[in-house]
Structures are given as structure tokens and as C-alpha cells.
Amino acid sequence: MNRRDYRYIVLGLGGIGSGAAYWLARTARHDVLGIEQFDLDHVRGGSQDHSRIIRLSYHTPGYVRLAQDAYVAWATLEVDSGEPL
């Protein structure tokens, strides 16, 4: 087996981990390894449920800015992947 060095290793590829791995690989220009213990589309993650939503209406302005940035990030991911999200 060949040894490979990674600058970043992300443990857990749910909503947060996969996003972190994607943006690290896209912007840091270093090797990124993502490790997930479960199969794709499992039901054990914190973001698994039919009621998860993203919205722009929050009481705290900081959350509104984060949500606005998230919409831009989703659009970027959609273009990069060539898949409708």
C-alpha cells in the first residue's frame, strides 16, 4: 500500500463534514481526505429528516447573513456539480 500525505482529513461526511471537505478542496489547494463510517444516504446523521429547511428569516442578523451566504454556496455547488439541487 502506498502512503499518501493529506494536508486535511475530515472525519464524518454529513452536512457539515462534506461541506468542509468540499470547500477545503476547492479553496485550500491541498489534498483533502474525507472519511465516513456509514453508507451514503444513511439515517443516522443529524441532518437526516424530512423537516430540515433553510430560510432567510431569523431574529439575529448574523444568522440571516449566514443563510444568504449559504444560498450562494448552494448555487455554486449546483454549477460545479452540474446537478440540480
User: Using CA atoms, how far apart are residues 47 and 43, in angstroms rounded to an integer?
Assistant: 9
| Placement of cell 453508507 in the chain | 39
The 10s digit of each residue's pLDDT in 18-51 is 889 998 998 988 899 999 998 877 777 776 667 7
Domain boundaries, the chain: 1-48, 53-85
* pTM of structure: 0.69
Can you name the residues that pair with 10 across neighbouring β-strands?
Answer: 34
Residue 12 CB contacts under 8 Å (≥ 6 apart), including other chains: 35, 36, 37
CB 66 within 8 A of CB 55: no
CB 34 within 8 A of CB 10: yes
